[in-house]
Amino acid sequence: MKRFAHARCAAALLALATARPLALATAPQFALAMAAQLALASAAQAHIPALESVARAAADASRAQGRNKAFSFAVLVRTAASTAPIAQGELLADPRGSARIELRHEQGFTERQLRSAAGLRAARDSAPLEAPQPLAPPVWLVQAATGGELLARAGELGAAPGVIALGHDGARDCYVIGGVSGGPALWIDKDTYQVARVDLADGTTYRFLAWATRGGTLLPGRIEVETPSASFELELTTATPAKPAPDAFSEAWLAGH
């Protein structure tokens, strides 16, 4: 990843100033160390673009890479402990703010889930299901067509309005809409401006990984789902542009009608 020049200089100063144990440091060295720490924080903050600029760049990338339309994905679901799929089915994602997933489980039942700004609803073999594993990701955040739309969708999920910070998720450096202090947040890769991660209020985290071009559209090929109690992987084996029916995200669909 690229590093900011000011941050590199400040880091070098900090390394020089703290080369000796703090107890042995002279007063000038201690002062230099404190100044370097402040410079690091200041340099990082100074290089965070405005919130609206980050959201607009992410939406520009979505449009340029062809994601700002509905898609149907064939899905395989695995747990963190198994390489064999435990379920397979279809994920339908609409950039207007809805996603649904239908899964045929290896144990013989069929589960449907609907996610929107209102939350997650689920049914198993047409019967309402309480507290399901949250396997319907908010893919519409990957598909936003405008910066205003992206910020509105992030706000609907609870991300603090007007808050942006730098965050690190694995090897990725990100701009984090909503902040990094915990709670709902939208992580945007600072190099590609792709949505890298979504954190929800209930502690669920979705990571969008293995990006690849399919039919001229750059899309994630894998979504990691991490909850406070379990982890799953959604492998998106195919992706096809879709035109959802008016009732595609309705309670009737959830109930199997």
User: Would you say residue 226 has pLDDT above 90?
Assistant: yes
Query: How many angstroms separate the CA atoms of 121 and 134, rounded?
Result: 9
Give percent of the chain above pLDDT 90: 79
* Contact status, residue 100 vs residue 242, Cβ threshold 8 Å: no
Distances (CA, A) of 185 to 15, 142, 212: 33, 14, 24
Residues 63-98: pLDDT tens digits?
A: 999 999 999 999 999 998 889 999 999 999 999 999
CB atoms under 10 Å from CB of 206, counted, come to 24
Q: What pLDDT, on the 0 to 100 scale, is given for residue 245?
A: 96
- DSSP bridge pairs for 205: 199, 226
pLDDT at 28: 59
Q: Cα–Cα distance between 1 and 70 in angstroms, integer? A: 32
> Each residue of 146-177: pLDDT tens digit?
999 999 999 999 999 899 999 999 999 999 99
| Cα 122 from Cα 16, distance rounded (Å) | 57
User: For the chain, which residues make up each domain, given as ranges?
Assistant: 5-46, 51-254
pLDDT mean across residues, the chain: 87
At which residue do the structure tokens 């279809």 appear? 90
CA distances from 96 to 77, 145, 146, 149, 168 (A): 25, 10, 11, 9, 29
Confidence of residue 256 (pLDDT cuts 50, 70, 90): confident
pLDDT of 80: 86
pLDDT of residue 8: 39
Q: CATH number of the domain at 51-254, please?
A: 2.50.20
The rounded distance, in Å, linking the Cα atoms of 114 and 59 is 24
Q: SS in 3 state form for 71-88?
A: EEEEEEEEECCCCCCCEE
For 31, phi then psi, to 5°, come to -65, -40
CA pair distance 242, 118, nearest whole angstrom: 23
CA distances from 15 to 8, 80, 156, 166 (A): 10, 39, 43, 22
Residue 72's identity, in one-letter code, is S
* Total number of residues shown for the chain: 257
- The partner residues of 89 in beta bridges, in order of sequence, read 75, 103
